[in-house]
Amino acid sequence: QVQLVESGGGLVQAGGSLRLSCTVSGTFFSINDMGWYRQAPGNQRELVASITNDGRTNYVDSVKGRFTISRDNAKTAIYLQMNSLKAEDTAVYYCNARIRTPPIIRDYWGQGTQVTVSS
């Protein structure tokens, strides 16, 4: 059973910083891309940042220059460093991992962590 466990959300003032963590556990063959998504009330879930197995990153325009996604050496954990936070960053943040357990490749999701930025 594969599990993604997130941590690091909370309440912060505008301009502040938070660091989210996501760790994958369980039995699997390999992890491909990983990423962070967010969903604000009334909005669709959107991709915030993603990272490939070889370290290539991608960001939504609204967070470029403020957020940084990284991955640990074992490639079973990712992090999202969020700086210069804005009220519009308020959302539930979800970790995603595309995991291969032959012959299946599927997406797994964490439970979500709330990030609230007060203006």
Looking at the DSSP assignment, which residues form a beta bridge with residue 88?
Answer: none
For residue 24, pLDDT over 90 is answered with: yes
CB atoms under 10 Å from CB of 68, counted, come to 15
Report the distance separating Cα 10 and Cα 31, nearest Å.
Answer: 27
Range 23-51 average pLDDT: 96
pLDDT digits over 66-113, tens only?
A: 999 999 988 799 999 999 999 999 999 999 999 999 999 999 999 999
DSSP 1-57: --EEEEE--EEEETT--EEEEEEEESS-SEEEEEEEEEE-TTS--EEEEEE-TT--E
> Which pLDDT does position 75 carry in this prediction?
79
pLDDT at residue 39 tops 90: yes
Mean pLDDT along residues 23-32? 93
31: CB partners within 8 A, 6+ apart: 24, 53, 75, 76, 97, 98, 99, 100
Whether pLDDT at 45 is above 90: yes
Q: What is the mean pLDDT of residues 45-60?
A: 96
Question: Average pLDDT for residues 26-36, to the nearest whole number?
Answer: 94
